[in-house]
Structure 1
Amino acid sequence: MSTLSGLFTTIVNMSITASYVAVVIILVRLLLRKAPKIFSYALWAVVLFRLICPLSFTSSFSFLGLLNIDLQNNAGVLEYVSNDIGFMQEPTVQSGIGSIDSAVNPSLPQTTPIASVNPMQIWMDVFSLIWLAGIVVLLSYSVISYIKIKRQLLTATLVKDNIYESDLIGTAFVCGFIHPKIYVPVDVGDADLSYILEHERTHIRRRDYLIKPVAFLAFILHWFNPLMWLSFALMSRDMEMSCDE
């Protein structure tokens, strides 16, 4: 299997683990509806960790330990999809949920004696290229969007300290990675300005202007997983709501 296919398989395995964790956090959020949103926001750090760390720490007391999954290597990496799936005579996946496995495994292409290349290997190479293309598209779109925003902010007027106002934006936000600045629309009334500034200052104090881009980059690696997009949307909502408390 090619290096790209191996990397894609690793990402798929990490994404499946993160999906299990995300489902648990979504359910926990329902129990924390009346609690401060900062607690819900903090929980998403677990999903982010699972998205970027391939290692899994399972025990009989952990949630992942309840799943019927074998560790395929000594590094402690959960392999729902084996890195050797492209060379298997009968490719299988082990999701930990029997009904899913029984539905997916029969549909996987089997090796035929007359074939010079395992069909599953071809499919994994194709999926890997699609995955890489998706990353390139999303990263390109993000960079272009950021450049457009920065150009709009060139005409912003300094109010005081790190606060700027612009007539080209419709909502307040923080922009910048090293020296973050607060940008507000010019038509914001004095009654709302203090509230808006405190909201944005909270983002800066918590380093949300760094956390959200890092999370977005992690989610881009897992763009094929719709549950991760839902997680990113819920995390962003919890981030914003926790700033208002």
Structure 2
Amino acid sequence: MKAIRPGRRLGLWVLFWTLLVGLGLALGLWQWERAADKRERLAAYAAAPRLEAPQATPPPGARLRLSGEYLAAETLFLDNRTHDGRLGVAVLTPLRGDDGRLWLIERGFLATGVRRDTPSVATPSGRVVLEGRWQADGERPPLFGPNREGRRLQRIEPEAWAPLGEFAHAGWLHLEAGPGRLTPWWRPNVLPPARHLGYALQWWGLALAALVVMVLGGRRLARDRRASRSDPEE
């Protein structure tokens, strides 16, 4: 088998490590941009308006005030939630507003352990006044099988309550105050901007390390190339 010439080895070495350096720089820049996007989203979330049963679609993170009656019999449970190391569900109960419109209320976390029977939760009757944060229905996580099992859902789909009619808006309220509130578990962002900045620095650090390896190894290969040229047998 013919050996790779020193000059070709040097070219392949530089190409390989240049690609790694470029990849590290690109991934670091991507994380940097994600941090900027998270800062903008958090700023918009903090400045979101306070609205009372809005007719127009509320912006994500808006604080809503709703009044009406829970439809207790239509409660479903978002499966496989965790809070403080406990396994459970998020309780989802529709609310019929005073004006007849329908809203979906995410009431909070209910610990169930590993049991697969239908969870039981008390729901206030009569007129209630609720306050919470609005989350628009957007990109949904992938499903690996049916979404519904009994009264459990693998992801929130307003279509699960289709027999009741359409909701006022595409989304749901995360309950923060009012009757029927359970332990809150939802957060608007999983990763804070600082985490993305940390990832960016890690990628750029790896890119710098790859550059150092490329230079040091390239120098050695260059010496081998010069030596081979001076070798009369080469």
TM exceeding 0.5? no
If each structure's helix is expressed as a fraction of its own residues, which one has the higher value?
Answer: 1
Q: Whose RCO is larger (CA < 8 A, sep 6+)?
A: 2
If each structure's strand is expressed as a fraction of its own residues, which one has the higher value?
Answer: 2
